């Protein structure tokens, strides 16, 4: 079964084509970074307009890359949520149009499920069950994954997502947008213990996260640092962002390990845009290794938003539940638990 997957949930227009939920035939991503960069973050209305402009060429390019025509497709998968409503609408209505014209099933996909399953785009993927940490610009959540379609939310952020914290700290420290890559790069030339920033563990047993206090602490420190010539001679901006990154990574790694031990799994999966971060990958591999666990993470192009993970997830959704009704609508909020009720 050849499935086209479309994602327009945020600021990337992407289309992927996957055969039988295993083999990626195309994965085309049109980034909107240049459009949003001057605004220091994603502007929803601009994102929708860009999706309208790019959705047709991106799908065409994916087909071209796969060497396929429209009529070779056996199903059209599309993200219906969570995400920006105006942006999601562009992808959903394009998918509905294709499904209707081609007479092929429409398959609604939950973006969070797609991040969890993105590891199956790689030939090296874990056996079930495993614990997955999805860390992106919009989400920071821990899941216990028993099988395709069987997920239990173990914990999530109570305020900012980890990626959002990276983006905000990059903005206030003048490193621009998007922030994660810039901070990782600057951190390579900084001291990770330059500044002692707070780590919000809540309680030792809690699997929830909180990053807003850390973001405020960095903001207050930057203010003090800019006004104090002695302090700014001692500590560099690279030290500050490296210390911030260390604080985020420490908490993420600690919570993944608590979750993995509690659930008794042998494998953990990292997914979402922040999973591109090499410091996070390295520290988690080290921590998991001590307990004999194995860490899996997809290549960066499958960590950030992409159409291939939507196609793969659509395939599994179709096998489970069949086609989605044409009347399906977008959902700004779409908790993964809802999948089990559908």
**Closest distance to ligand KG4 from the beta carbon of 88 (Å):** 12
Task: Tell me phi and psi for residue 291, to 5 degrees.
Answer: -100, 15
Number of Cα atoms under 13 Å in the Cβ half of residue 264: 0
> Which residue pairs from 30-37 have beta carbons closer than 8 angstroms and sit at least 24 positions apart in sequence?
30/54, 30/57, 30/58, 33/177, 33/178, 35/11, 36/11, 36/177, 37/176, 37/177
Q: Which of 253, 258, 274, 336 binds ligand KG4 (CB under 6 A)?
A: 274
- For Zn ion, the closer CB: 99 or 136: 136
Of ligand KG4, Zn ion, none, which one does residue 184 interact with (CB within 5 to 8 Å by kind)? ligand KG4
Task: Tell me phi and psi for residue 256, to 5 degrees.
Answer: -60, -45
Among the listed ranges 61-69, 86-94, 152-160, 174-182, the one in contact with ligand KG4 (CB under 6 A) is 174-182
**Closest distance to ligand KG4 from the beta carbon of 266 (Å):** 26
Placement of tokens 């990770």 in the chain: 192
Contacts (CB under 6 A) with ligand KG4, residues 43-102: none
Contacts (CB under 6 A) with ligand KG4, residues 182-201: 184
**Closest distance to Zn ion from the beta carbon of 155 (Å):** 18
Among the listed ranges 88-96, 144-152, 233-241, 267-275, the one in contact with ligand KG4 (CB under 6 A) is 267-275
Q: With contact defined as beta carbons under 8 Å apart, do 310 and 3 qualify? A: no
Query: SS3 letters for 161-188?
Result: CHHHHHHHHHHHCCCCCCHHHHHHHHHC
- For Zn ion, the closer CB: 14 or 24: 14
Coil vs helix vs strand at 211: coil
**Closest distance to ligand KG4 from the beta carbon of 230 (Å):** 31
Contacts (CB under 6 A) with ligand KG4, residues 112-151: 136-138
**Closest distance to Zn ion from the beta carbon of 272 (Å):** 6
Contact residues toward Zn ion (CB under 5 A) are 136, 305
Q: With contact defined as beta carbons under 8 Å apart, do 269 and 145 qualify? A: yes
Please list, in sequence order, all residues whose beta carbon lies within 8 angstroms of the beta carbon of residue 112, skipping any fewer than 6 positions away.
82, 134, 139, 141, 334, 335, 336
- For Zn ion, the closer CB: 136 or 173: 136
- Asked if 181 is part of the footprint of ligand KG4 (rule: CB under 6 A), the reply reads yes
Q: How far is CA 106 from CA 80, 97, 211, 308, 333, in A?
A: 11, 10, 37, 16, 20
- Asked if 298 is part of the footprint of ligand KG4 (rule: CB under 6 A), the reply reads no
Residues found near ligand KG4 in the complex (CB under 6 A): 10, 136-138, 163, 166-167, 178-181, 184, 272-274, 276-277, 304-305
């Amino acid at each position: 079964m050849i499935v086209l997957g479309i994602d327009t949930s945020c600021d990337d227009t992407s289309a992927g084509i996957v055969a039988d939920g295993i083999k990626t035939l195309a994965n085309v991503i049109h980034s909107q970074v240049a459009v949003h960069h001057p605004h220091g973050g994603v502007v929803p209305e601009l994102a929708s307009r860009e999706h309208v402009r790019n959705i047709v060429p991106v799908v065409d390019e994916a087909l071209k890359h796969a060497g396929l025509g429209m009529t070779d497709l056996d199903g059209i998968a599309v993200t219906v949520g969570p995400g920006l409503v105006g942006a999601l609408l562009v992808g959903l209505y394009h998918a509905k149009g294709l499904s209707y014209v081609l007479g092929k099933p429409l398959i609604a996909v939950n973006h969070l499920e797609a991040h969890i399953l993105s590891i199956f785009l790689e030939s090296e993927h874990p056996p079930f069950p495993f614990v997955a940490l999805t860390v992106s610009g919009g989400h920071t959540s821990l899941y216990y994954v028993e099988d395709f379609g069987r997920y239990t939310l173990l914990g999530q952020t109570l305020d900012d997502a980890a990626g959002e914290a990276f983006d905000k700290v990059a903005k206030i420290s003048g490193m621009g947008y998007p922030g994660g890559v810039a901070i990782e790069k600057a951190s390579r030339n900084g001291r990770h213990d330059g500044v002692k920033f707070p780590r919000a563990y809540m309680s030792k047993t809690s699997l929830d996260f909180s990053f807003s206090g850390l973001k405020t602490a960095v903001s207050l420190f930057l203010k003090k640092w800019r006004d104090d010539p002695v302090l700014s001679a001692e500590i560099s901006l690279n030290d500050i962002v490296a210390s911030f990154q260390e604080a985020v990574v420490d908490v993420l790694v600690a919570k993944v390990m608590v979750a993995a031990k509690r659930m008794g799994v042998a494998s953990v999966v990292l997914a979402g845009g922040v999973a591109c971060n090499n410091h996070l990958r390295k520290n988690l591999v080290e921590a998991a290794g001590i307990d004999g666990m194995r860490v899996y993470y997809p290549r960066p192009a499958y960590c950030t938003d992409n159409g291939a993970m939507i196609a793969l997830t659509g395939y599994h959704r179709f096998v489970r539940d069949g086609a989605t009704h044409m009347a399906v609508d977008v959902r700004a909020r779409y908790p993964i638990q809802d999948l089990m009720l559908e």
